[in-house]
Amino acid sequence: MALQESVREVSRSVPVARHEPVMVGEIVDFLRPAAQALVVDGTAGGGGHLAALMAAFPGARFLAVDLDPEAVRRVGETLDDERLEIIASGFDCIPELLASHGLGGAAAALFDLGLSSIQLDDAERGFAHSLDGPLDMRFDRGTGVPASELLEGMSETEIADLVYTFGQEGRSRSIAREIVRARPVETTGDLARAVCRAVRGRPVKPLSRVFQALRMAVNDEPGRLARLLSGLPGWTLPGARVAFLTFHSLEDRAVKRFFIDDPAFTPWDPPWMAPSREEIRRNPRSRSAKLRMGVRS
């Protein structure tokens, strides 16, 4: 398949959709028994889960955070409610936010570790390999360095290690070689073309893995998740219910091991759920989601 045809094939394979929250009913049902005090939404995103929780739990208070200031602005304008405190911050900072706002411990918490369709469908954000735009990938564009600058400063070995570790892509060395040859890699199209040159056959999966790996590195996603998990027992109340939506094996494995290994939490039964066939048909971006659940001892 010619290079330009490969890129066009990738573009056709990615659905363009408005933001639709994943597994809303299952999340509301799981959190309901614990959600009459403080509910934390650690990833406000498009606001879909938060809106559903606020409608379902009229007697609760809510703290919502998101690393993306643009998401916080949108959600704050849409959900103008005195029960809600919404802050632009990473979820690893929740203990400090609870203390500074005098909110105490949480009875329920949700963390959606995926991207919103609003972010994916905005070419200027640089998250999607199917849309040509600046290779940025920062959740907060006011801090850190964009993905283009990160790639420019990395060696070929470092890029290969990144793609293999965070993207779990076996062709990481050939991909890294093509990325280095293509530098400066300034747009999503530049990166997509480099990946397509390095792989054979259908390029959709390696493209998704490379973009995932780079996004994770730009935003320190593994580090933030590790800090969140280590601090979670300290700010959740006994009996608190905590739900995670995961979208790739690295984060899912970390959440799974946390609920199994940490003595402060017990995995729910069943410990995880997947979207229904009907939901996947309606919202194809939900197909890789897992809902993992645990209860504070």
What are the DSSP calls for 91-147, one per residue?
A: GGGHHHHHHHTT---EEEEEEE-S--HHHHT-GGG---TTS-SB----SSTTSS--H
**So what's the pLDDT on residue 200?**
82
Mean pLDDT along residues 292-297: 97
Band (pLDDT 50/70/90 cuts) for residue 18 is low
Residues 33 and 97 in one domain: yes
- Between 188-198 and 204-218, two packed helices, what is the crossing angle to 10 degrees? 130
pLDDT of 1 reads 39
Q: What integer pLDDT is reported at residue 19 of this predicted model?
A: 67
Domain edge (last residue) among 200, 219, 238? 219
96 and 151 inside one domain: no
Answer yes or no: is 18 within a domain.
Answer: no
* 215 and 232 inside one domain: no
% of the chain exceeding 70 in pLDDT: 94
Q: How confident is the model at residue 202 (pLDDT cuts 50, 70, 90)?
A: confident
Show the CA angle centred on residue 114, arms to residues 112 and 115, nearest 5°: 120
Q: What percent of the chain has pLDDT over 90?
A: 89
pLDDT band at 241 (very low <50, low <70, confident <90, very high): very high
Can you give the pTM of this predicted structure?
A: 0.91
pLDDT at 14: 33
CATH of the domain at 271: 3.40.50.150
The stretch 211-222 carries a mean pLDDT of 97
Q: 160 lies in which domain range?
A: 3-12+142-219
CA distance 11 to 204: 9
Q: Is residue 136 part of a domain?
A: no
**Would residue 125 count as lying in a domain?**
no
Do both 32 and 108 map to the same domain?
yes
Same domain, 155 and 212: yes
Mind listing the pLDDT tens digit for each residue in 245-286?
A: 999 999 999 999 999 999 999 999 999 999 999 999 999 989
One domain, residues 177 and 212: yes
Same domain, 175 and 60: no
Domain boundary among 194, 219, 244: 219
Query: What SS3 class is residue 19?
Result: coil
- Give yes or no: residues 109 and 230 share one domain: yes
Cβ neighbours around 201 below 10 Å, total: 9
Please tell me the least confidently modeled range out of 2-16, 71-85, 174-188, 277-291.
2-16
Pair 100, 165 in one domain: no
pLDDT in tens, 151-176: 999 999 999 999 999 999 999 999 99
At 117, the pLDDT band (50, 70, 90 cuts) reads confident
